[in-house]
Amino acid sequence: MMTPMPRIRSVNLGRPQDREWAGLGYTSIDKRPVDASVDVHVNGLVGDVVSDTKHHGGPEQAVYVFAREDLDAWGRRMGVVLRDGQFGENLTTEGIDVNEAEVGERWRIGSVLLEVCSVRTPCNDFKNWMGVSGYDNSAWVKRFAQDARPGPYLRVLEEGSLRAGDEIEVVHRPGHGITVTTLFTALNLDRSLLPSLLDADGCAIAGLGDKPRRVAETYVAALDARGATA
C-alpha cells in the first residue's frame, strides 16, 4: 500500500479579540479553519492578524504549524478531542512528523515555498486559552515544554497561496540532524545543546532564525570567556 502524501488538513486564521485573561487584553490565538485559498506573504497568511507583535509575528514567525497527530496525542492524554487550530496554529498538518523536520528544511505547499527556522515557546496566554476552552491547563506551559514537540515556525521564501488539502512536498532536507525537537530542547530544556546550532566556524546552521542564533552565540561566547579565564 502506498503511503499517502503529507498534506495540509486545515488552514486556520485568527483576528484580535478582547479577552481579559490575555496579557495585552486581547489575543488572536483563537484561530479557525477556512475553506478558501489563502494568500501567503512574507509576514504570514492574509487574514491572520498578530496581536502581540512584540513576541510574535514577523518573517521568522510567519507561519506556525502543528500536526493533527500531535493534537490527537494531547487529546488522548486529556480525554478530549481537540479541534484543528486549537493550539493557535496556522496550518494543521497530517502525514508528516513536523517535529522531526530539520532546521532549514524546505516545504512546497501550493505555490508557497516555506522554510523551517524557529520554534514556538509556550506562554501564559496559551495556558489561559486552554483553560477558558474547557481543558485541563494545570502546569500547562511546563507540560507542553517537557513534551518537546512544539511545532515549527516557518519563514516564507516564495510567496503564493495555499489551501486545505494541499500536499506538503519536502524539497530540501539539510541533513545536519538538528530537528525542531532538538532546537526546542536546546532553547528551553538543555542549553548544553546550544553549540550544536552553530557550525565549526561559529556560524549558525543554514536556515536558523535570528533569535535562536543569538541565544546560541551568546551561550558559546560565555563558554569561551569562562574557558579563557580558567
Q: The sheet that has 7-13: what strands, in order across it?
A: 32-34, 7-13, 91-94, 63-67, 152-158, 112-119, 106-109, 168-172
pLDDT score recorded for residue 19: 87
Out of 12-16, 120-124, 165-169, give the one with best mean pLDDT.
165-169
Out of 2-6, 26-30, 165-169, 177-181, which region has the weakest mean confidence (pLDDT)?
2-6
Across residues 51-76, what is the average pLDDT? 90
User: pLDDT band at 3, cuts 50/70/90?
Assistant: low
Residue 223 lies in a domain: no
CATH number at residue 95: 2.40.33.20
3-state secondary structure (DSSP) of residue 64: strand
Q: Provide the strand spans (E) within the chain.
A: 7-13, 17-18, 26-27, 32-34, 38-41, 44-45, 63-67, 91-94, 106-109, 112-119, 152-158, 160-162, 168-172
Residue bearing the bigger pLDDT, 17 or 188 = 188
Residue 39 lies in a domain: yes
Residue 11 lies in a domain: yes
- For residue 88 the three cell numbers come to 493557535
pLDDT score recorded for residue 1: 46
pLDDT score recorded for residue 229: 64
Average pLDDT, the chain: 93
Count the domains in the chain.
Answer: 1
Residue 80 lies in a domain: yes
Residue 77 lies in a domain: yes
Residue 199 lies in a domain: no
Residue 28 lies in a domain: yes
Residue 2 has pLDDT above 60, yes or no: no
Residue 228 lies in a domain: no
For residues 66 and 79, what is the distance between their CA atoms, to the nearest angstrom? Answer: 19
Structural domain for 68, as ranges: 7-188
